[in-house]
Homo-oligomer: A and B are copies of this chain.
C-alpha cells in the first residue's frame, strides 16, 4: 500500500467547537463534509482522545467555523496543537454564543455552522458525528483554507491525533527537518531551531524558518523576522 496516495484526498480547514456545562473548547479539524442536502447535515470526524470529543458527546452540539485562507499559523497552532485541558482556548478570542450555547469563533472565519448531533458512528480511534445544521451564516467573502494550502503554502503539519496523520510520512519529514537551518535573533540572541519550532507561538516542531509567517516575532524580545540571521 502506498500511503502517500491518501495525500491526494482534498479537505478544508475548520475550527470545531463545543461546550460542556459553562466550559468551551475547540480544535482544528479537516474532516467536515456535508452528507445530505434535505435537511442539510454535516459530519465531522473527531479523535476520541481530544477534549472536544468529550464536550460534543456531553452537550450533543458543535459549531464549525470555516477558516479563511489567510488564517495565521499562530491561530491554527493555538487551537490545533494545544489541549484545552491545560487552558481556556477561548480567552481573548472573538466569538459569539450561538443558539445552542456553543461558541462561534468569528475571527479568521468566512462563516459558521451550528449543529445538533443527531447520530454518530464509532470508527475506531475516531468518532464520526452527524450534525443537523440549525443555522449557517456567512461572515465575510474570501477563499477558504484548504488542507493542501495549509501544508504546501503555510508549511503546516498534522498533529498525531488527526485522522490523516501518517507515521511514515512524519519520519520522512523529520529527516528533512534535520537539514533545516537555525536562525539567531540579532537583538537578544534567541536561536530559532526548526526541529523545536516555537510551540508557545503556535509554531509546531519541524517548521522551517522560511515558512514562518511575516508577522511572527521573536518569542523572547518581540523582534521581527527580518532581525534574524541564518546560522551556518
Contacts and interface: CB of A to CB of B under 8 A. Distances in A.
Interface of A: 1-6, 8-13, 31-43, 45, 66, 110-113, 119, 121, 123-126, 128, 130, 133-138, 144, 146-148, 162-167
B138 A37 contact: no
A12 to B, nearest CB: 3
Contacts of A164: 34, 37
Q: Taking chain A's interface residues, is the majority helix, strand, or loop, or is none over half, making it mixed? A: strand
Contacts of A10: 10-13, 144, 146-147
B125 A38 contact: yes
A190 to B, nearest CB: 35
Contacts of A32: 9
20 contacts: A1-B40, A2-B136, A3-B40, A5-B110, A5-B111, A6-B34, A8-B111, A9-B12, A9-B66, A9-B144, A10-B10, A10-B144, A10-B146, A31-B34, A33-B45, A34-B163, A36-B124, A37-B167, A43-B45, A123-B130
A193 to B, nearest CB: 27
Given A5-B111, A31-B34, 17 more contacts: A2-B136, A3-B40, A3-B136, A5-B110, A5-B112, A5-B137, A8-B12, A8-B110, A8-B138, A10-B13, A10-B144, A36-B126, A37-B162, A38-B124, A40-B166, A119-B123, A146-B146
Given A123-B119, A128-B128, A137 B2 contact: yes
A121 B130 contact: yes
Nearest to A67: B8
Closest A-B pairs by Cβ, 4 of them: A10-B12, A5-B111, A5-B136, A121-B121
B12 A136 contact: no
